[in-house]
Chains A and B, each alone.
Chain A
């Protein structure tokens, strides 16, 4: 598996990058990470602006007037208003129609503050924020009227900012070293300032004063928490850089929770892919991944993590380019892209842009090679369980653990099953909760997690027992018992097919006494199908009969079955006693009992049963005779033949 070329790389670029016209003297390129759109602005807009995005909808081509160099260009979230900044304190706007044609007339709006705009972000459909050197200005825009309404603003000396659009968080840097960070949240048109916090900077020999640069800070949502992620350069090259993660709290200042040790120094770029922090190192042309959910050393304040696997390059990427002769068009040549190039710019969470090449990729993780790279199965499963699309890989790992020759030890299997079932249980609980609340609120959040349920295990994992006949039955039983133990430990009801599987294995290997003990301790939960299975085993293991009856009794809903079992064994009197003890004498079919009694060829028994039902008839209807609907004529005849007509109970006539 690991031998092929695919097997050596766990980080790869998406297969179909977004292509755009490369950066040149006449062509400027802008990227808006909120809408994931690339803008190729030719000749400052006069020769046209080409917008490309992840889908067809976000593609647009239009022209603007050449009013100077474009500093920043971004569509509103609904792509109906385009904002362009060309001047230090003014932003210009163009309204768009739904077919992505622009209205002719631009309108503009300037910031109030006496400082240049560092940047602007769309915080809502018609809502945006100017970040200036002196503060923040929050506006509402009415595109049809082309008017702006100030919502809120505050002043602060701002060095730089970082905008995380999908969660509406803005991070502002202030202070002389730029290391005082202010998170601001935008939600439903409201702006909320969260407590500021300081990032400690490494001691740097004077006169160079340490500065926190915007290129070293990002924000990301990891495992549903918001983090400010800071790259901390080592004070000297002998030490490795590290990444410090500050978890933004609902209340109180952000807290340093995790530290990622890089053991390298130089230029880094950080992405977040599938809740993993991915760090690219330019000098070595390698990338590493960190999973903060994997155990790290805890020093009382923060957890210290090392890369999940050793550094490896991103999988080489080949691009099909048109031949040098652009006009020919048909011939394409393969071009191997330069990875980790100086032209690379990364955007959050998972975007890599090569502006010179005109490519935009998203990064993705290839889980298959990781299976062989992480020999520690417990760690591997833990890692896979936290990934989004790992189900098939997980199942194949679980499956391989049982295959002869590469079997994992039982204690490890035990731990792995506990891990799987912990997630499974959490899922069942949220499901149950959803059902009771009946809210439609984001079921996707819980669904995105990988769940390995009992039928997955049965069809994909335990199926190896069928395919590999050389697995010792002891191991099969041990594995299944481990799984059942784990399910029970998490209070998950075990499904019948697992019981059936284990019973079949035990029966095939003549381990009846073991099976008996499992049933005795209720390891195999009661159910009608299981009781029936036990009944079928009576011929090979007589005590199974007793076990089956006990089970039916405990179920309390299986009176019919108990009667059937007793009658089939010619146990007429116990059957009569049973219906009396559970109070269903009046309900049972007399014909069924009489038929069974007749089959015993025991006349005395037949007599007893007949009399029992005569009495019942008498009590129910005041007449001992059977009614035509009961179809007992045959037995009445037989009774008469055996014992004579005078043996019938007398019909009492009321005077």
Chain B
């Protein structure tokens, strides 16, 4: 049996050359290194190599070096804050093969896409920033004590990196968009008014976001803050809450974060703090998340404000009836909406993304969080990633149509700031037919937006 390997994380490190400028003090540059158990020589060597590469390449281009390709691995670089570099090394998938009776290993370089893993690295930083603030901010608060920063990094990334599923990363990670809930205007306005009333009645609630299932309805946060928080909510908080509720079986817990039991004045429960930059940079807030049926409301309360179980009880008294009503109304509306089967034509799958509002839609993935996988072959998914990389590079509106050897037609279109990818599995179709088909899809799915063909 020939052995196989998939993309995996070899190492992940953060360094800042400023802290170990003198020879012999190289290890001071290390802010964080994964795997932790690697010996100091390996750490220093790998960091030295990465440092050398980014330094060296900077003489040729104004743009920083983004990645390095080797036979067996791929290394990606990111300088999220001046002087701080993050690097991540991913092993290439391989397969042992025999040729002329000789076994050899085939590394599949094309299976690891720069754009996808650059996005993974980028979000590794953003996620840290959401819960800890920027590196500089931590240093400032610790009066420049770099050990505090190192502790924070270690504390966060040692857990975070274990949750990465690199082999499942794809185009959706590049977009990292937000699924918006389609909703009629009246219900939307009611939600809006409800939030306004909440914020007026509880001025400590500074920002609010409203979700239904895993889809966003309203965000009082700025787009970038919301993007990261949305990722946290949908990939981490909600799944673990759902799991707990599933096991619990008792009365559902309404505060996802915060007090588990409103009658206990002392237990405020687990209450994450997040750093947002909506009003001011690095504003630290408690993230209080409340759920009623499938509707979720995230309330951000500045850490300077008093947050106790009493306040939560008051919030609950207002939220419980209104949220339940809204949730059941939304549910009913969606039930009616879903009545005619939306995918009458199972022949095609699509991904849509709008850079302007980060709205994304996919029928390629079985669920929004990609837990259940995709319903097109892996290589087609990768092809989508490649087309996206091409379209992104050219920076112009354009269209690419590809026919694969496996009889799939793959179409990628970009217009203004929107991207639309369609996968059609239709044998014996010709280019003209596919072009017509995609036009038809555009008119039916993107009717209300200005999308040129």
Kindly supply a per-residue 1/0 record for chain B positions 242-262, scoring 1 wherever the CB is within 8 Å of any chain A CB and 0 otherwise: 000000000000000000000
Q: Which residues of B contact A562 (CB under 8 A)?
A: 450
Taking CB atoms and an 8 Å cut-off, the chain B residues in 347-380 that contact chain A are 354, 356-357, 359
Task: Give the distance in Å from the alpha carbon of A576 to the alpha carbon of B180 in the complex.
Answer: 32
Selected from A481, A542, A549, the residue in CB contact (under 8 A) with B196 is A481
Selected from A474, A478, A577, the residue in CB contact (under 8 A) with B193 is A478
CB distance from B199 to the nearest CB of A (A): 7
Contact A521 B188 (CB under 8 A): yes
Give the A-B pair count, Cβ closer than 8 A.
92
Contact A521 B185 (CB under 8 A): yes
Taking CB atoms and an 8 Å cut-off, the chain B residues in 422-453 that contact chain A are 448-450, 452-453
- A: interface residue count bin: 35 or more
Given contacts A484-B189, A523-B192, contact A410 B449 (CB under 8 A): no
Kindly supply a per-residue 1/0 record for chain B positions 162-186, scoring 1 wherever the CB is within 8 Å of any chain A CB and 0 otherwise: 0000000000000000001001011
Task: Give the distance in Å from the alpha carbon of A485 to the alpha carbon of B193 in the complex.
Answer: 8
User: Taking chain A's interface residues, is the majority helix, strand, or loop, or is none over half, making it mixed?
Assistant: helix
- Does B265 have its Cβ within 8 Å of any Cβ on chain A? no
Selected from A475, A482, A485, the residue in CB contact (under 8 A) with B186 is A485
- Which residue of chain B has its CB nearest to the CB of A520? B357
Interface size on B, residues (CB 8 A): 35
- Which residue of chain A has its CB nearest to the CB of B182? A521
Q: Considering residues B183, B196, B226, which has the most beta carbons from chain A within 10 angstroms of its beta carbon?
A: B196
Q: Which residues of B contact A411 (CB under 8 A)?
A: 197
Contact A481 B192 (CB under 8 A): yes
Task: Give the distance in Å from the alpha carbon of A478 to the alpha carbon of B186 in the complex.
Answer: 15
Contact B448 A550 (CB under 8 A): yes
- Which residue of chain A has its CB nearest to the CB of B278? A513
Given contacts A546-B416, A577-B452, contact A481 B193 (CB under 8 A): yes
CB distance from B61 to the nearest CB of A (A): 26
| Segment from B66-74, B216-224, B280-288 that makes contact with A | B216-224
Contact B189 A577 (CB under 8 A): no
Task: Give the distance in Å from the alpha carbon of A12 to the alpha carbon of B441 in the complex.
Answer: 71
Task: Give the distance in Å from the alpha carbon of A238 to the alpha carbon of B354 in the complex.
Answer: 76
Selected from A410, A481, A521, A549, the residue in CB contact (under 8 A) with B450 is A549
Contact B189 A414 (CB under 8 A): no
Given contacts A410-B200, A517-B219, contact A485 B192 (CB under 8 A): yes
- Which residue of chain B has its CB nearest to the CB of A481? B192
Kindly supply a per-residue 1/0 record for chain B positions 190-206, scoring 1 wherever the CB is within 8 Å of any chain A CB and 0 otherwise: 10110011011100000
- Does B51 have its Cβ within 8 Å of any Cβ on chain A? no
Q: Considering residues B200, B219, B415, B417, which has the most beta carbons from chain A within 10 angstroms of its beta carbon?
A: B200
Contact A478 B452 (CB under 8 A): no
Taking CB atoms and an 8 Å cut-off, the chain B residues in 404-423 that contact chain A are 415-418
Contact B193 A482 (CB under 8 A): yes
- Does B397 have its Cβ within 8 Å of any Cβ on chain A? yes
Q: Which residues of A contact B190 (CB under 8 A)?
A: 485
- Which residue of chain B has its CB nearest to the CB of A485? B189
Contact B223 A478 (CB under 8 A): no
- Which residue of chain A has its CB nearest to the CB of B218? A517
Task: Give the distance in Å from the alpha carbon of A482 to the alpha carbon of B219 in the complex.
Answer: 18
- Does A522 have its Cβ within 8 Å of any Cβ on chain B? yes
Contact A410 B416 (CB under 8 A): no
CB distance from B446 to the nearest CB of A (A): 10
Given contacts A549-B416, A577-B452, 7 further A-B contacts (CB under 8 A): A409-B201, A410-B193, A474-B200, A477-B196, A478-B193, A521-B183, A577-B453
What are 20 A-B residue pairs whose CB atoms fall within 8 Å in the complex?
A: A409-B197, A410-B196, A410-B200, A410-B201, A474-B199, A475-B200, A478-B193, A484-B189, A485-B189, A489-B186, A513-B223, A517-B218, A521-B188, A543-B417, A546-B356, A552-B450, A553-B450, A574-B452, A578-B452, A581-B453
Q: Which 8 A-B pairs have the closest CB atoms?
A: A478-B196, A485-B189, A543-B356, A549-B450, A553-B450, A521-B188, A410-B197, A550-B449
